[in-house]
Amino acid sequence: MNNKVYFTPGPSELYATVPQHMQTALDEKIGSISHRSQQFKDIYAHAVSGLRQLLQLPDNFEVLFLGSATEIWERAIQNTVRQESFHLVNGSFSKRFYEVAKELGRTATKYEAPFGEGFDVQSITVPETAELVALIQNETSSGTSMPVAEINRFREKAPADALIFVDAVSSLPHPAFDFTKVDAVYFSVQKCFGLPAGLGVWLVNDRCVAKAEAILADGDSIGSYHSLPGMVQKSRENQTAETPNVLNIYLLGKVLADMNRKGVAQIRKETEEKAAQVYTYLQRSKVFDAAVQNPQHRSATTIVANTTVPASEVNKQLAKYDLALGSGYGKYKESQIRIANFPAHSPEQMQKLVEKLEELFG
Ligand SMILES: *Cc1c(COP(=O)(O)O)cnc(C)c1O
């Protein structure tokens, strides 16, 4: 039996209701039903409508299910970029999207901020030739976030037909996006939705689909089973081209219903209160301090702190109390800790973590 509470930045603690939904899924043999059945179509429609409600998604956006956010990077480039994409890079995930574009043979350009810093949006010029502008709302590797007001400014900055893509993998549903200012937003369920990994969700508007159709009409490849027009066509019938992750789509629909019962406003408020509690502690701690200097750019959902005690030692001490947090990313493995503050983490659990950290390390 593992009684640990995981504050790792994804996979992380499961949403509290997931065990009961998993049990129901087993009782109803969800793992055995056909993905062409009406029962699956209902499961699919339930997940989509739950997400539309939670995020107040306008009708010109589609909800598509893919394997992961990593897959969405590849599909984004294949389907919406003929030649050139432009990326804001300030950590490992935003950098990886930039690399994917290059690996697919596109010209990728970037505006780079140092690891642990947000962007000075004022000073960024989007190239006139950019077809896709890749923004990162929450850079999980460094704990920096981009306020929605800054994201919204890119509609004016970017060429009129450029598509604005937002990585909100480790923050949604916390940021309240203005969906008139962005063209695509994507996330993975193992971050803020408190589910097992293996499902990427792509919110994509009609402008992105039209671009893919135009590239296809020119005779260029937009991929095969996961082309944008193909996925949209299937999703209109509550279907997917492949046999999808039925169990996770089922669980997502159930968790979304739970989240909608609670209300997105309450989820956002709790997220901010828990984040404030952690950052206040980091300020008074002698061992930890917030890694992101500018409070405007500090993530509410993936909090990163510098540590003078190696991260592995922090976790070793915490393990005695059934608590686990994330180590630093890459070369910061031992010199930083990362604390996930997702909707699955209750205010009580977060309080216990902060109390134990203070008791053990000051
Ligand atoms: C986790 C993460 C990804 C990748 O998600 P996968 O589900 O592993 O493909 C991309 N971007 C950010 C910001 C992430 O935190």
Q: What are the tens digits of pLDDT across the range 34-50?
A: 999 999 999 999 999 99
**Per-residue confidence (pLDDT) for residue 337, from 0 to 100:** 98
- Percentage of the chain beyond pLDDT 70 is 100
Confidence band of 6 (pLDDT split at 50, 70, 90): very high
Where in the sequence of the chain do the CATH 3.90.1150.10 domains occur?
5-13+263-361
In the block, tokens 């997931």 appear at: 18
Give the atom of ligand 1 at the shortest distance from the alpha carbon of 9: 15
Cα of 7 vs centre of ligand 1, distance in Å, is: 16
- Domain boundaries 5-13+263-361, corresponding CATH code: 3.90.1150.10
- 302-354 pLDDT, tens digit per residue, is 999 999 999 999 999 999 999 999 999 999 999 999 999 999 999 999 999 99
**Ligand 1 centroid, distance to 37 Cα (angstroms):** 31
Residue 159 binned pLDDT confidence (cut-offs 50, 70, 90): very high
Separation of alpha carbons 167 and 68, rounded Å: 12
Q: Report the distance separating Cα 71 and Cα 74, nearest Å.
A: 5
pLDDT tens profile 201-221: 999 999 999 999 999 999 999
Phi first, then psi, for residue 192 (nearest 5°) are -75, -5
pLDDT recorded at residue 78 = 98
Select from 1.20.1530.20, 3.30.1660.40, 3.40.50.10070, 3.40.640.10 the CATH code of 18-260.
3.40.640.10
Question: What per-residue confidence (pLDDT) applies to 21?
Answer: 98
Q: Is the pTM of this model over 0.85?
A: yes
Q: How much is the pLDDT for 304?
A: 98
Mean pLDDT over 280-285 rounds to 98
CA distance 147 to 138: 9
Tell which one of 8, 170, 338, 341 to mutate to probe ligand 1, the residue whose CB is within 8 A of the most ligand atoms. Answer: 170
Mean pLDDT of 256-279: 98
The mean pLDDT of the chain is 98
- Looking at residue 158, what is its pLDDT? 98
Find the largest Cα–Cα distance for the chain.
Answer: 64
Q: How confident is the model at residue 27 (pLDDT cuts 50, 70, 90)?
A: very high
Distance 134 CA to ligand 1 centre (A): 14
Q: Whose CA is nearest to atom 2 of ligand 1?
A: 169
User: Ligand 1 centre from 125 Cα, in Å?
Assistant: 26
Cβ < 6 A, ligand 1 pocket: 10, 68-70, 93, 138, 140, 167, 169-170, 188, 200
Cα–ligand 1 centroid distance for 276 (angstroms): 24
| 200 alpha carbon – ligand 1 mean position (Å) | 9
Say what the pLDDT of residue 284 is: 97
Q: Which residue intervals of the chain bear CATH 3.40.640.10?
A: 18-260
**Ligand 1 centroid – CA 149 distance (Å):** 23
Burial of 279 (0-12, 13-18, 19+ CB in 10 A): middle
Cβ neighbour number for residue 264 with a 10 Å cutoff: 17
Q: Closest ligand 1 atom, CA of 69?
A: 9
pLDDT at position 227 is 98
User: What own/partner pairs with CB < 8 Å and gap ≥ 24 does 106-112 have?
Assistant: 106/77, 106/81, 107/83, 108/84, 109/84, 109/85, 110/86, 111/86, 111/87
Residue of 66, 89, 135, 140 to mutate, ligand 1, most atoms within 8 A of C-beta: 140
- pLDDT score for 13: 98
Phi/psi for 68 (5° steps) reads -170, 170
Confidence grade of residue 169 (pLDDT, cut at 50, 70, 90): very high
Q: Which residue's alpha carbon is at the smallest distance from atom 5 of ligand 1?
A: 69
Q: Which atom of ligand 1 is nearest to the CA of 170?
A: 15
Predicted local distance difference test score (pLDDT) of residue 69: 98
Which of ligand 1's atoms lies nearest the C-alpha of 136?
Answer: 13
